[in-house]
Amino acid sequence: MAKCIRCGRQLTAFSFKKICPWCKQHEAIQRGEIVEDHIPQPVIRKPWARSESSITLTQVLLGANVAVFIAMLLASSDPSAFANPLHQFTTQLSRHFGANDGRDTLMGEWWRLLTYMFLHGSVLHILFNMWCLWDLGSLCESLYGRVTYAAVYLITGVAAGVASVGWNPGVSSVGASGAIFGLAGALISSFYLGEFSLPSFAIRGTLKSLVAFAAFNLFLGRAIGGVDNAAHIGGLVSGLILGALITKVAPQQDVPVRRAGVIAITALAVLATGLGVRRWRSPQMRTALTFQALGGQGGDPVARLKMLVEQNPNLAPAHFALAQAYFEQQKFPEAEAEFKKVIELQPKSARARFDLGMTYLSMKRAEEAKAAFDGMLQQGANTGEAHYGIAMALAMESKHPDAINEFKAAIKDGSDMSGIYSEMGNSYAQLRMYDDAISAYLKEKEKSGDNPDVENALADAYQAKGMTKEAQEARNQAAQLKNEGTGH
C-alpha cells in the first residue's frame, strides 16, 4: 500500500493521491487558508506525527488470520487444499478450529463468536477478506486509533456472529467479513456525521466508496450461494450504530472514559442480543440434536441418546427422549430418573410430569404418581390429563368413588385420553354400579372403536345384571376381534 510522501502515513485504496488529506489540511492551515479554531476537533491531534510503532494492529490481525489458515491447511488431509484456491475446508475441520456453528455455539460454546472471525473456508475466501481488511482496517486504525479500532472490530464481529447463528442456526459460519462490514459501517457513520476533520472532497469520495463497498458485497452475497449475508448485515448494522455513538457522544480520543463508556454500552447491547438469540434458538437446536441422535440406521437409540446426554448434560429434550425410550423398554427406574432430570431442567414441563406420573403407576407407586399429577394442577397445565392420572392412581388404591369424580373432571376439562371411559367403567363395576359401567363402556366403544378388552368388560357387566344374551354377544364379539387381530 502506498504511503504519504509528507508524513509516511499509509494511504488507503480509496485514494490515488501522494499526499494524505491530513497533511493537505495541515499545510492549508499553515498558509492561513483555514482557521484552525473553526474546524472540528480531529480524532488524532497531530495526524502528521508518525506512529510509535512500525507494526500496526491491522498487520497483527492479518497475520493472525493467515497463521490460523496455515494451521487449517496443515490439518487438512486433502492435498488439493494447498493448490486449489476454491477448495473448501470440511465443516468438521472448521468446527474443530472454532467455527460459529449453532450445534456448538447455541449449546454453550460462546467463545466461537470470537474464534470464527479468524477462520476461512478457502484460499480465495481469505485472500478477498484480507484485501478488504488491509484497506478498511488501515483507514479505521489511522482515524480511530488502535484501542477504538480493536473494539469496533471485535464487537461488530461478535454482533455479526450473533446475527448469523440467529438467522442460520444450522449453518457453520467462518470468516472475518462480518467484522470487516462492521468497520465499514462505523466509518460510514463517522464520515457522514462528521467525526473526522477531513477536507469535504475526501469525505465525499471516501463515503461514496464505503457505501458502494457495502452495497456491492451485500448484493454479491445474495447472488452467490454459500455466503453468510446475515453476518454481513449484523456487522454492518452494529458498525453503523457504534460509529454513530462514537461520533455523537465521544468524538475526542483525549476523553477516554466517555469513549470507553460508549464501547462498554455497545458491548452490553450485543451481549443482551446474544442472550435473546439463545432463548429463541437454543430449544430448537436441542430438539434438532435429539432427533439427529434418534435418526440413522441400526444401533440402539438408547445408546445414542445416552451419548448425547453425556455430551450435553443440560439438554432437556435429550433427557426426555431417553426417558421415553427407557419407558418403552419397561426400564421404569431409569425412566423415572430421566423424567426427574427433565423437570429439574424445565420445571414447567407438563409433559414430563405426566409421563413421570405414568411411570410411577407402572411401578405401582400410586402416592408418588398423584404427587406428579398434582404438580400439573398447581401449574394449571394440561388439567384434563392431570385429573385422568389422579383418577388412575385412586383406582389403583381402590378409592373408586374419588376416582370416578376425577375421571369426570378430566372429561369436563377436555381430556381425550384413550381408554378414559373404559377405566371409569371399571371403577363403576368395582362399586357394582353396573348400569353406569355399561354406559361408560358403550361410550368408550363410540369414542375409540371396538376392542376385545372393552367387549369382555361389557360382557361381565351384562352378566352381573343377569343380561345373559347381551353378555354372550359381547363375548362372541371379543373373540372375533381377537381372531381378527391374530389373523386367524
Cα(148)–Cα(257) distance, integer angstroms: 12
In the predicted model, is pLDDT for residue 100 greater than 70? yes
- Kindly indicate the confidence band of residue 49, based on its pLDDT and cuts at 50, 70 and 90: very low
Cα(483)–Cα(425) distance, integer angstroms: 25
Per-residue model confidence (pLDDT) at position 202: 58
Q: Give percent of the chain with pLDDT exceeding 90.
A: 34
Per-residue model confidence (pLDDT) at position 117: 95
Q: What DSSP character marks residue 172? A: E
Cα(43)–Cα(38) distance, integer angstroms: 15
Domain segments of the chain as ranges: 1-39, 56-281, 300-486
Written as nine digits, the cell of 327 is 419407558
Per-residue model confidence (pLDDT) at position 290: 62
Summarised one tens digit per residue, pLDDT across range 237-253 is 999 999 999 988 888 77
Summarised one tens digit per residue, pLDDT across range 137-168 is 888 888 888 999 999 999 999 999 999 999 88
Average pLDDT over residues 294-308: 66
Summarised one tens digit per residue, pLDDT across range 392-434 is 999 999 999 999 999 999 898 877 778 889 999 999 999 999 9
In the predicted model, is pLDDT for residue 45 greater than 60? no
Q: Hey, what's the torsion of the CAs at 49, 52, 58, 64, to 10 degrees?
A: 170
Over 45-103, what HEC string results?
CCCCCCCCCCCCHHHHHHHHHHHHHHHHHHHCCCCHHHHCCCCCCCHHHHHHHCCEEHH
What mean pLDDT value characterizes the chain? 82
Average pLDDT over residues 113-122: 92
b/e map of 207-243 (b: 16 or more CB within 10 Å)?
Answer: bebbeebbeebbeebeeeeebbbbbbbbbbbbbbbbb
Q: At 228, phi and psi to the nearest 5?
A: -85, 80
Does residue 339 or residue 195 have the better pLDDT?
339
Return the CATH fold of 56-281.
Rhomboid-like fold (1.20.1540)
Long-range (24+ apart) CB contacts under 8 A made by 369-374 are 369/393, 369/396, 370/394
Average pLDDT over residues 339-367: 91
Cα(329)–Cα(357) distance, integer angstroms: 17
Exposed / middle / buried, residue 388 (Cβ in 10 Å: 0-12, 13-18, 19+): buried
Does residue 20 or residue 471 have the better pLDDT?
471
Per-residue model confidence (pLDDT) at position 179: 93
- Kindly indicate the confidence band of residue 43, based on its pLDDT and cuts at 50, 70 and 90: very low
In the predicted model, is pLDDT for residue 205 greater than 70? no
- Kindly indicate the confidence band of residue 40, based on its pLDDT and cuts at 50, 70 and 90: very low
Q: Indicate the pairing of strand 100-101 with strand 172-173.
A: antiparallel
Exposed / middle / buried, residue 109 (Cβ in 10 Å: 0-12, 13-18, 19+): middle
Average pLDDT over residues 197-205: 60
Position 255, amino acid: V
Cα(247)–Cα(4) distance, integer angstroms: 26
Tell me the torsion sign for CA atoms 96, 100, 105, 109.
Answer: positive
Per-residue model confidence (pLDDT) at position 399: 94
Cα(324)–Cα(290) distance, integer angstroms: 12
In a 3-state reduction of DSSP, which class is residue 202?
A: helix
Cα(348)–Cα(128) distance, integer angstroms: 49
Summarised one tens digit per residue, pLDDT across range 381-400 is 778 898 999 999 999 999 99
In the predicted model, is pLDDT for residue 111 greater than 50? yes
Q: Give percent of the chain with pLDDT exceeding 70.
A: 79
Per-residue model confidence (pLDDT) at position 6: 59
Does residue 293 or residue 134 have the better pLDDT?
134
From the candidate CATH numbers 3.30.70.580, 1.25.40.10, 3.40.47.10, 3.20.20.140, the one assigned to the domain spanning 300-486: 1.25.40.10
